[in-house]
């Protein structure tokens, strides 16, 4: 019966150090820097394949393990089939107990609810900003006058590489702007 740890941060700029310290008593720790929003969590898949009957999978927080309640329940189902218990250190959850299982399910549902509320508030904020005239996205590379000049210079035979240098644009952007009618 081994204690297997799994640690994850969402981006390469973040540190796993705090999680690894909390998981230091594990026999093996799988770790990755990968957003939970992708299915490419290779180390999680390796970890789930690695755990065996009687093992404990340890994580610091539920949100380090799954991206939604459904994902969390799917992972938990996989662990149950392998007779592996889940231990969440910060929330003191141990799914080998009825109370731990209840807390696990409730916290997973609450986390999803909070995430949905955050997304809703974000969309409301974006809609309000749009109504107030806020422009989203990247600033245009060139003004319409500069695009006309780009077209004229190209029509006069200026090389693409020279246009790239003069306007400080990538080749792809020059070609894209040349395809825009002026």
170 labelled catalytic: no
Q: Which of 2, 10, 35, 168 is catalytic?
A: 10
Element housing 8 (H / E): strand 3-9
Contacts of 7 (CB under 8 A, 6+ apart): 16, 19, 20, 23, 29, 30, 31, 32, 59, 60, 64
What does the block give as tokens for 123? Answer: 């969309």
| CA–CA gap between residue 97 and residue 56 (Å, rounded) | 13
Tokens encoding 100: 């731990």
**1 with 55: CB under 8 angstroms?**
yes
- Scan for tokens 């008593």, then name that residue: 25
- Cα separation, 151 vs 60, in Å, equals 57
| Cα radius of gyration (the chain) | 25
Which residues participate in catalysis according to the annotation? 10
């Amino acid at each position: 019966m081994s204690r297997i740890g799994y640690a994850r941060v969402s981006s390469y700029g973040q540190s796993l150090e705090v999680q690894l310290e909390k998981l230091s008593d594990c026999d093996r720790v799988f770790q990755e820097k990968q957003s939970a929003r992708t299915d490419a969590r290779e180390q999680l898949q390796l970890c789930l394949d690695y755990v065996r009957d009687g093992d404990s999978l340890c994580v610091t927080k539920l949100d380090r393990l799954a991206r939604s309640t459904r994902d969390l329940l799917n992972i938990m189902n996989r662990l149950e089939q392998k007779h592996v218990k889940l231990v969440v250190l910060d929330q003191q959850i141990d799914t080998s107990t009825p109370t731990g299982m209840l807390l696990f399910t409730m916290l997973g549902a609450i986390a999803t609810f909070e995430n949905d509320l955050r997304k809703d508030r974000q969309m409301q904020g974006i809609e309000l900003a749009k109504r107030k005239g806020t422009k989203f996205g990247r600033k245009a590379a060139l003004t319409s006058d500069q695009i006309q000049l780009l077209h004229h210079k190209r029509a006069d035979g200026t090389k693409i590489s020279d246009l790239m240098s003069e306007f400080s644009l990538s080749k792809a952007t020059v070609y894209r702007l040349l395809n825009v009618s002026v």
